[in-house]
Amino acid sequence: MDSRDWNKFLLPYAQAVEELKVKFKTLRAELKSREGYSPIEFVTGRIKRISSILDKAKKLNVPMDQLETGIEDIAGIRIMCQFEGDIDRMAELIKQREDMKLVYCKDYITHKKESGYRSFHIIVEYPVQTALGMKKVLAEIQIRTLAMNFWATIEHSLNYKYKGALPPDVTKRLSKAAEAAYLLDKEMSSIREEIMESQKLFEDKSNVVSKVLNDIQQLYFYHRVREAVTYQLRFNELWEQEDIWSLKQLSLSIEEAIIRAKRESR
């Protein structure tokens, strides 16, 4: 293949990368606006260098006329997420899409690589509209957390520097760093769950407080002044103690008192 052929060969892959980057960046903005949170932190993409394509073809014994099917990551997209849980959500979102077809997945999170590498890869078939008509190309979408990306980026550049032959002590330290990145992901996920739980608790508390206060007002409306005052005093007490469970019980008692008051006022 001469250089002009390479340029033509890579054109649909470059187009696929550009289109996919725009699509995932748009999805990020849309989810932020609709749901207030996006599993996508940021998106990058690249087409594989010619030298890397040739190296991989040699390694995998792919004939030059079968590069399109034999090398799956000529077009590469990378989606970075904050939390591990976001990766599953992202994979689901990709599976549901109608503009790309899932070919298969490689789960290097459940089964991390020997190097310590963790990421979820999805190979998709993506149709690009070229001047010559529609062309389907393969693309690899790598989904990973920020911690996984940090580790992989450094490991990749060290491998590049040492041309794949890392000194044993560096390999050992990278393996320890991979474990630290794994623990960081677990810790961040548990902190996130705690924050979400405490937010829920806060919501619960503010809902029950406004319900109790509104219901006490209702009792005044039905001229149940003595009952209303008793409930108000009990509310003040529980509010001081921050006893949410008893506040919920109190709310149920006031609800029943309102039903009784309504019945008797007829």
Answer whether 86's CB lies under 8 Å from 32's CB.
Answer: no
Long-range contacts of 120-123 (CB under 8 A, 24+ apart): 120/87, 120/91, 120/144, 122/91, 122/94, 123/72
140 is catalytic: yes
CA distances from 73 to 95, 98, 130 (A): 18, 21, 20
Residues with Cβ within 8 Å of 222's Cβ and at least 6 positions away in sequence, in order, are 258, 261, 262, 265
Catalytic residue among 140, 227, 240, 255: 140
Which parts of this chain interact with ligand 0O2 (CB under 6 A)? 21, 44-46, 48-49, 52, 56, 73, 76-78, 106, 113, 115, 117, 121, 142, 152, 155-156
Handedness of CA 210, 211, 216, 221 (dihedral sign): positive
Answer whether 73's CB lies under 8 Å from 87's CB.
Answer: no
Q: Which residue has the tokens 């794994």?
A: 182
Pick 128 or 228: Cβ nearer ligand 0O2: 128
Pick 24 or 231: Cβ nearer ligand 0O2: 24
Q: Which residue is closest to ligand 0O2 by CB?
A: 76
Pick 9 or 222: Cβ nearer ligand 0O2: 9
Pick 154 or 233: Cβ nearer ligand 0O2: 154
Which residues are identified as catalytic?
A: 140
